[in-house]
Amino acid sequence: FTTGALAGKRVVITAGPTREALDPVRYISNHSSGKMGYALARAAQEAGAEVTLISGPVHLPAPDRVTLVSVVSATDMLAAALATLEHCDLFIASAAVADYRPATIAEQKIKKAGDEIQLTLVKNPDIVATIAQHKNRPFTVGFAAETNDVDAYARAKLERKNLDMIIANDVSRQDIGFGADDNAVTLYSKHGSTEFTVMNKALLARQLLAAIAIQLAVL
């Protein structure tokens, strides 16, 4: 991956989980560590891009020479993503965004009472799909985290969310995906698919950006 392959490009990357509050002390979230997104941000910066990293709550140091925008919920992440749209050539959505959030956030701590309680969840906005349908859309790359039928679901998301590319990983495996240092993915575009076998997320990030940069260059 040549230094400068993304020189002059403005790249926005979402990373980590979102947290959807239930009350002042509790939230719904997932196991994303942010490692994949932070590796992509670092690799894009090293390839010469001007990088903004929109990150949910993680325990990782901010990458050098990258603009870090810290957010909590999916709603915050969407607002931060939309704010970058005017200045974005490439948008990569590696965040594990909660699909639903609690319909209401209790102002006070929810007290323990009966043996069961009901939670009502409402759908969150789809960040990457919102970016991809914008009239000044950047080249838009999503991820697909699947536990089964990875190929079919990834191709369906590529179409439905109007993405240029989608990077699918099998998150039923312990050695890759959520929280792991390694990942193995398949990159799909309209033109076909490429497999990347298990490797460190830092190395994978460089290889993925090399493949994305080739597509960007032919546009």
165 makes contact with ligand PMT (CB under 6 A): no
Please pick, from the candidates 10, 157, 187, 216, the single residue that binds ligand PMT as defined by CB under 6 A: 157
- Give whichever of 34 and 63 is closer to ligand PMT, judged by the CB atom: 34
Active site (annotated) includes residue 30:
yes
- Give whichever of 43 and 144 is closer to ligand PMT, judged by the CB atom: 144
Please pick, from the candidates 32, 52, 55, 140, the single residue that binds ligand PMT as defined by CB under 6 A: 32
CA distances to 71, 130, 193, 218 from 124, in Å: 15, 11, 29, 34
125 labeled binding residue: yes
Residues catalogued as catalytic: 30
> Interface residues with ligand PMT (CB under 6 A)?
14, 16, 32-36, 74, 93-97, 99, 124, 126-128, 142-145, 157, 169, 171, 177-179
